[in-house]
Amino acid sequence: MEQTGYVYKTDDKTAGIIVKRVSACGDSCASCSSDCSTSNITISIENTLDAKVGDYIKIRTRTKSVLKSIFIAYFIPLALMVIGVFLGVSLFKNLGFKEYESLGFLMGIIFLGISYVLLRIIDKKISKNSNKTFEMIEILRDKK
């Protein structure tokens, strides 16, 4: 996926880029009822084109990284919740609780909460490598 970004800072090897976050409904958020307000995100990427502060650049998101992030964001919570439910039902049934299904569901919710803590830890590690997720394609001279 290609996007346009604005270079707001540079150093020896990297550039800080402001990119408009892409929403699921495209550029026209009024066309859907989800009321999604798009915001800007800042990323740090390798400055392979020697971009200067004030330049607009075209960047590409590496598909493999995006798919990996999507898999992590959706699979981990679902998997941990299902594991928590089955583990809880089995555990509480063997312990003789009458409400073992409700307790199993509660354990699934607890595991879901744990998954979000795990996602936060993973997100911090991934954000350190964000310069490998994005790549500069070209400097857009006519955007200024």
Model confidence over 10-58: pLDDT tens digits? 988 888 999 887 665 555 556 666 656 668 888 888 888 988 999 999 9
Predicted confidence at residue 77, as pLDDT, reads 96
Predicted confidence at residue 134, as pLDDT, reads 83
- What is the reported pTM? 0.63
- Cβ contact 57:143 at 8 Å: no
Listed by start position, the domains of the chain span 2-143
CA atoms 48, 72, 2, 42: torsion sign: negative
Give mean pLDDT, residues 115-139.
Answer: 83
